[in-house]
Amino acid sequence: MLEGKTEFLGKGYWREVRLATYQGQDVAIKTLRDDQEETDRNKERHRWEAVALDLVSDHPNIVHLLGLCECDMITEYFPYYMDVLLMGDDSSSEELVELSIGEIIRMALQAARGIQALHEMPGGPVVHADLQPRQLLLDENGVVKVNDLNRCRFMARDSSGEPCPFYISKGNGVWRSPEEYAGEGLTEKLDIYSLGNIFWAMLGRKPPFKRDDKYKARVLRGERPKVDPSWHPEFVQLFTDMWKRDPRERPNAREVVLRLEMMYAQLPPESESD
C-alpha cells in the first residue's frame, strides 16, 4: 500500500506523474490525465512500456518498473532531470551548473548504455522513439537513467531476420530525427540521432533549434546545430556522425558506447571535477 499523500510532479501529453512512498521508498506513479480516457490504446502504451522495462529490469541506466495495473504504473523515483541540469528551469533564476568534459562524457556514456540495452534486447531492437533530455533522469550520485518508454516500439523482423522499419505519427519537438519529420520508415537509428542532439545540448546548454514553424524544414535541408570550435573534437565528431541524414550511416548504440568509453579512458584524472 502507498503511504501518505502523493505530490504532483508534472504531466506529459497523456499522463501525469506523482511522487509517493511505497514500503519506505520514494516512487513515481504514472497515471492517465483527467482529460484522457482509459482506452485500449492507452492501456497498450502502458503494457508495452512495462514489457520493455521488465526485460531490462536489472540495467543500471534504465528506470526500474515496480508495478503495473491497467493504466497506472509505478517506477523508481529520481529527483533530478537532465533537461533542468543542462538548460535550467524556467521557474528558477539560478545559474546553470558548470559541467566538466569528464562529467559530460560520463553522462553521455551512461545514457548510451541504457539505449544500447534497449536496442540489443533479445527479440528487439526496442526503440525508445521519444529521446530528449527530459526523458533522462539522474539519481543522487549523478547516474543517468533512461525513462518514459510509453512511445517505444518493438521492431518486427522479416524472413531473413532483419528488423523491419516502422511508421508512427510525425512527432513534434526539436529533438527528433529528420526521417521522423519526413514521415519515412523508422528504425532504431532515430534514437541515435536524438541522442546526438542531447550530446550537443550537453555542451551547448540549450535545445538544438528554436521551436518555431521552421525548425523541421531546416533539419530536412541538412542544417544541424552550430558547433563551437573549442569543444572536445572527438565528442563533436561522434554526435556529428550520429546526425547523418541516412540512418544507415549513423553508428549503432554499441559503437557509440565504445567510442565514449575510449574518450572517457583517455581523459586526464582531474577532468571529472575541472
Each residue's pLDDT tens digit, 171-194: 789 999 999 999 999 999 999 999
The pLDDT value recorded for residue 194 is 98
Element (H, E) at 178: helix 178-181
Three cell numbers written together for 66: 515496480
117 contacts 127 by C-beta, under 8 angstroms: no
Nearest-angstrom CA–CA distance, 36 and 52: 23
Mean pLDDT of all residues in 97-119 = 97
Domain ranges of the chain: 2-76, 80-265
* Fold observed for domain 2-76: Phosphorylase Kinase; domain 1 (3.30.200)
Nearest-angstrom CA–CA distance, 133 and 175: 9
Element (H, E) at 66: strand 65-69
Is it true that domain 80-265 has CATH number 3.20.20.140? no
Query: Which of the two residues, 41 and 56, has the higher pLDDT score?
Result: 56
For the chain, the average pLDDT equals 90
The pLDDT value recorded for residue 2 is 62
pLDDT of 82 > 60? The answer is yes
The pLDDT value recorded for residue 158 is 83
pLDDT of 38 > 80? The answer is no
Residue tagged 549503432 (cell numbers): 252
Amino acid at 35: D
pLDDT of 1 > 60? The answer is no
Residue tagged 538548460 (cell numbers): 87
The pLDDT value recorded for residue 216 is 94
Nearest-angstrom CA–CA distance, 139 and 193: 25
Neighbouring-strand partners of residue 21 = 3, 26
105: region left, alpha or beta (phi > 0 left; psi from -120 to 50 alpha)? alpha
The answer to whether domain 2-76 and domain 80-265 are alike in fold is no
The pLDDT value recorded for residue 47 is 84
The pLDDT value recorded for residue 147 is 96
pLDDT of 36 > 70? The answer is no
Amino acid at 238: L
Nearest-angstrom CA–CA distance, 177 and 220: 9
Three cell numbers written together for 258: 565504445
DSSP classification of residue 213 = S
Nearest-angstrom CA–CA distance, 256 and 109: 8
Q: If you compute the radius of gyration of the chain from its CA atoms, what whole number of angstroms results?
A: 19
The pLDDT value recorded for residue 217 is 94
Residue 126's pLDDT band (cuts 50, 70, 90):
very high
pLDDT of 274 > 60? The answer is no
